[in-house]
Amino acid sequence: MHRTSGILLHPTSLPGPYGIGDLGPGAYAFVDFLAEAGQGLWQMLPLGPTGYHDSPYQCTSAFAGNPLLISPELLRDAAWIDADDAAPPDFGAAPAAADRVDFGAVHRHKRALLKRASATFHANADAVARAEYAEFCDAHAGWLEDFALYAAIKETQAFRPWTEWPEPLALRDPAALARWADDHAPDIELQRFCQFAFLRQWRALRAYANARGVWLIGDIPIFVAHDSAEVWTHRDWFNLDASGQPTVVAGVPPDYFSATGQRWGNPLYRWDVLAADGYRFWVERLRQALELVDLVRIDHFRGFAGYWEVPAGEQTALDGRWVPGPGMDLFDVLFAALGERVDGGLPLIAEDLGVITEDVIALRDALGLPGMAILQMAFEDTAFGEPRFLPHNHRGRMAVYTGTHDNDTLVGWWAKLKPELRDRALAYLRSDGREIQWDFIAAALASVADLAVFPIQDALGLGSEARMNRPGSAGGNWRWRLAAGQLTPEIAGRLGDLSGLYERTPHPSA
């Protein structure tokens, strides 16, 4: 742990000319902004290829990177596409607004671009690049081959869930899969190349960030999407019926965001089966995450102590039950396999929000993991308002946030807050309310918590129009983007001054 601070911004929200943020110049410019602002952390959402409603928490793979993040400009610089291919697209009748991602239009454009890049690479790559590609394929074969096959089939099936594919493919008949793979070898090879290009660009960006004193915080959802390569490949790991449909699904009981709870719909693990295999899936999943980032936020950490099991036929999460999770047994294995990475520990942040019971706190503290505090929630009057989130109740081993991707922006939340709660917050913060977002940011930075993180929307003072996600709503989420020029030297200077005042510093440069 290091007393530092940073910004939450998913790469898809970066500005740029291709309809979506990516790993190209916009990402490098954001790292420069963080360094100029004296920030040592860049936190992002899960980086996998998105499926259902474009949610990064419903990825089609627990291991793969999102091809939509691959930068056309960096493909051009590698001579895998030409200058004409790298020209900003014209989305025609479905333009991608500058402040919103049109995922459908972007996907169609990127897929055609990556197909050309793959063909050029395989035709023209020199011996060094070919060796690098072969090494990548060999090192990641444990997940890459299954994912490449799954993703290639999915494209030919109009992106329908795997349970709607022809039965021999859905249920992985070996002969049918072998025939399909022989007939579609170029499609499978394209998926391998996309993952190679993603990881190559990502490694360069991470090295650049670390050299500027910026560490990357990634995010692992505890559960995986039903429509994913892992569930398709390893049905025995999950509670599924004979056709592959979940019998029980994940969710949470009534909480801060929903009076009927949240029915996420993810299939639940058969933890006994995973344990019998030495938790190999989780060991490799965390190993892959630590190849990409410096710290990992474990989403819904409380599920390791106990999780909310909802019968698959229920429409809400009200009629569920708590079921014990794997607890310390899983983490003993993870620490034994990966703990040497950080002097015997693991660089994890426990997302310990929601209904938190003593067993969750005991597991978190036994592992020595920082939990989270959300300042917005500290001033609510609901049953889920959290006095422990008030700054005077913080601990050193903690990450404090003004809000998360699931919250409204600070300014949007403040506009809807009851007057009596505003008065309480103003008195607590000693604020006149004129720049309430900066008062909350200052409170986070002044906290004794080692880590302080705030969404970029809060630093910019943006309202509800810039919200990233509304839990419980199915459409229109995850689309918000920064506009070019919003990250000004004035914002960087103000962040730098506050961070310096409260003795938060970047990490030593790598």
| Residues acting as catalytic residues | 299, 351, 406
Of 122, 111, 126, the residue nearest 70 (C-alpha): 111
Work out the widest C-alpha separation in the chain, in whole angstroms. 70
Of 36, 38, 26, 30, the residue nearest 8 (C-alpha): 30
Cite the DSSP H helix spans in 157-246: 167-170, 174-183, 185-211, 229-233
Q: Inter-axis angle of helices 103-124 and 185-211, to 10 degrees?
A: 100
What string of H, E and C letters represents the secondary structure of 395-446? CCCEEEECCCCCCCCHHHHHHHCCHHHHHHHHHHHCCCCCCHHHHHHHHHHH
Of 383, 381, 385, the residue nearest 393 (C-alpha): 385
DSSP-derived secondary structure letter, 98: T
Of 501, 510, 467, 390, the residue nearest 3 (C-alpha): 501
**Pairwise CA distance, residues 68 & 366, whole Å:** 39
Q: Inter-axis angle of helices 419-429 and 436-446, to 10 degrees?
A: 50
Q: Inter-axis angle of helices 127-139 and 185-211, to 10 degrees?
A: 100
Q: In what order do the strands lie in the sheet with 262-267?
A: 262-267, 248-252, 306-311, 321-324
Phi, psi for residue 269 in degrees, rounded to 5: -70, 150
